[in-house]
Amino acid sequence: MSLPRPNPQEDKLRLETLLHVLITLLVVSGLLFIARAQEERVNLDDLRSGELLFYTDTPGSYLPATRVSSQVNMQITGMVARVTLSQQFQNTGEGWTEAIYVFPLPEDAAVDSLKMHIGERVIVGEIKREDEARAVYEEAKEAGQQTSLVEQERPNMFTTSVANIGPGETIIIEISYLETLRYDSGTFSLRFPLAITPRYIPGQPLIEESEKTYNPLATGWAANTDQVPDAQSITPPYLKSGVGNTVTIHAVIDAGFKLASLESRYHQTTMSEKEGIYSLELTGEVPADKDFELVWTPEVGAEPGAAVFAETWESESYALLMLMPPALSNTSLPAPAREVILIIDTSGSMEGTSIVQAKEAVQLALSRLKPADRFNVIEFNDAASSLFRTPREANAANLRLAERFVNQLRADGGTEMRSALELAFQTQAAEGYLGQVVFMTDGSVGNEAELFALIERELGSHRLFTVGIGSAPNSYFMRKAAEFGRGTYTFISDLGETGEKMSELFVKLEQPVLTGLELKLPAGSDVYPKTVPDLYLGEPVLVSVKLSAQGGEAVLSGNLNGEAWTRRLSLSNPGSQNGISQLWARAKIEELNDELIRGGNWEILEEDITQLALKHHLVTDYTSLIAVDKTPVRPANEVLETESIPQNLPAGQSYEAIFGEADAMAAPLAPAPAMMMKTNQAVGFADTATLAPLNLIIGLITLLLAFLLLVQVSRSRMRA
């Protein structure tokens, strides 16, 4: 049998057909890669309200970013609030995303719960040591599993990391915490921070990172320094203009008594009441750019004189006690002569409405001085300077000099608080004078612990009173600085309330102080804070206790202008309240952290905090919440892009004043914000990576191969 002879012409035709098909496929593939590189890009005209964009290499063309919106639900019962924050991460792009979002919470929040919602599924978070939780997160991220991690950077600053958000997918991260209400001068209040004022980072950059300072998830613009070794974790990017992150808030208040008033100080709300339960919610969705504060007062005659809330947890008894000391019995007592040092922050972060509020606050403080008082004014930014070399009498001539000095102040430069505090504390008050330092600032620093240690060490006989200025002051710094300074704190978030708030503060400063306070509890009780601080007018004693047994009584004693007094409170029939055990644990952890600041044994205290947090399921500097979905969802061939979600700049602040100068927010030799923005080429420092350049290159290479094949086929035909 003979085989058919090969036909060269047919073989050549068949080869040319295959080459044409290959060329066509290469052309189509190349065009598809180029299209993919462009498909996510949009113009500013296409931008929807609330959507974030990142720069691309094409002028006027941008990439959609992961969007974050938040819902806040508050359930307030008696003296305790249970707050749930739901963060909705929406991937508006075409690739797989890891979102990293730094956000604020109240500085005394006991964060104890994490839930990750993926469609109908709910994954409950577990508490672990910080390094263990981070390792679990990284392993799950690399395996393509959806996972979330909640870490504490400061008591009032946290980070949520969410990995493997699919294209067009939404993942909801639900975080819950407990908090004790503030009660002062007959008014209850609850503050929820919604923005973070950019932090000033002092110190020299670290040449080498240690295990304690290195954080693979940190995406901040500042280098870690010797004074702020975790600077990269507390310097998130900011939107240069507009607002991206939005929030809704709903609150339910069961105070246990009828209210004379209920209001939201800085946001428009709608309210209702039914059978003594009050409901309040924001009027629509609002930008997360200024703190939310609720305040309410009881009807006349319903003001609490004392309260006890208790919980039994794991066979142990816990209680939250509030005691009001007796009212002043002799208001005609002469106020002591005072030596008042007024410190005003004139750094770049104060530019805008904040510096206006601060200057007005100083002028009001000057107007409250009496001829018998002495005073001085200190202003600081990169350095500190004072009006007088030493405090002077509050006579008309000196007060006029002070008014002119304050009027010419402008906001610019860094936030070197150390120099201002050292200048204020360098000399003690003259004999016969009560030394009072009033510190007006937004608290935008990253070296809080160092400053607390300075206050503890240098305070002497002074008392330090902090005034938080602006729409989003650093509440952690404000409260703890006042505690270490044996004073009190207040917030001025709106220009219209400057007069009211400063008058309230100076009423406290002008009244006698309740000193020598001692709280006696049943033997074996473990109470925090350990030492009851001096009390100013209208302030209660508020402590958390682990009781050795049920029943007994609490006895508070002290003296006012040399007169002894005592108040008793029965512990036999307390009101029942969930979460008291965790609030006690949170109070003890704060006390242990204070010991660290005072120079206590780091290893012992760190382990004590860790064990306590693990037992009570709390997020701390050393423990984190981690949630992992067991099923991998990201294909192995898909690249994961990381996005650091930009913050809204707090209302009233100037982006250019904070980030415009190279040394305004960064340590010497560290990358400055303006430089970082040019390097990253992102809206408001948003640091992200995309596949657009790679897709474009692959597309162009594919088209080039198609062109070369076409040339080769044409040459073959010509030779034929």
552 and 659 co-located in one domain: no
462 and 589 co-located in one domain: no
Confidence of residue 708 (pLDDT cuts 50, 70, 90): low
Asked if residue 165 lies in contact with residue 97, where contact means CB atoms within 8 angstroms, the answer is yes
The pLDDT score that the predictor gives to residue 537 is: 87
Residue 3 lies in a domain: no
**Lowest-confidence segment of 28-42, 525-539, 589-603, 696-710 by average pLDDT:** 28-42
711 and 597 co-located in one domain: no
Mean pLDDT of 73-90: 97
Residue 186 lies in a domain: no
**Lowest-confidence segment of 199-208, 338-347, 585-594 by average pLDDT:** 199-208
The pLDDT score that the predictor gives to residue 261 is: 96
pLDDT at 419 over 90: yes
Helix (H) or strand (E) holding 64: strand 62-64
In the 8-state DSSP scheme, what is residue 487? S
pLDDT in tens, 516-570: 889 999 999 999 999 988 889 889 999 999 998 888 899 999 887 778 888 898 9
662 and 710 co-located in one domain: no
The pLDDT score that the predictor gives to residue 233 is: 93
pLDDT at 4 over 60: no
319 and 450 co-located in one domain: no
H/E/C letters for each residue in 191-237?
EECCCCCCCECCCCECCCCCCCCCCCCCCCCCCCECCCCCHHHCCCC
Take residue 259 and report the two structure tokens written for it.
């209210």
- Looking at 561, 592, 616, the residue that finishes a domain is 616
The pLDDT score that the predictor gives to residue 706 is: 60
pLDDT at 686 over 50: no
CA dihedral 404, 652, 235, 607 (to 10 degrees): 80
Residue 342 lies in a domain: yes
Q: Distance (Å, rounded) from C-alpha 490 to C-alpha 341?
A: 17
pLDDT at 320 over 90: yes
Asked if residue 646 lies in contact with residue 685, where contact means CB atoms within 8 angstroms, the answer is yes
Based on the structure, what is the number of domains in the chain?
4
Residue 660 lies in a domain: yes
More confident residue, 324 or 170: 170
pLDDT at 691 over 90: no
pLDDT in tens, 244-298: 789 999 999 999 999 999 999 999 999 999 999 999 999 999 999 999 999 999 9
- Domain, as residue range, for 491: 338-510
Helix (H) or strand (E) holding 609: helix 602-616
317 and 352 co-located in one domain: no
The pLDDT score that the predictor gives to residue 551 is: 84
pLDDT in tens, 579-628: 999 999 999 999 999 999 999 999 999 999 999 999 999 999 999 999 99
377 and 466 co-located in one domain: yes
Confidence of residue 208 (pLDDT cuts 50, 70, 90): confident
The pLDDT score that the predictor gives to residue 656 is: 85
Name the one residue in this structure whose structure tokens are 């805008």: 352
Q: Which amino acid is at 40?
A: E
pLDDT at 76 over 70: yes
Residue 286 lies in a domain: no
pLDDT at 720 over 60: no
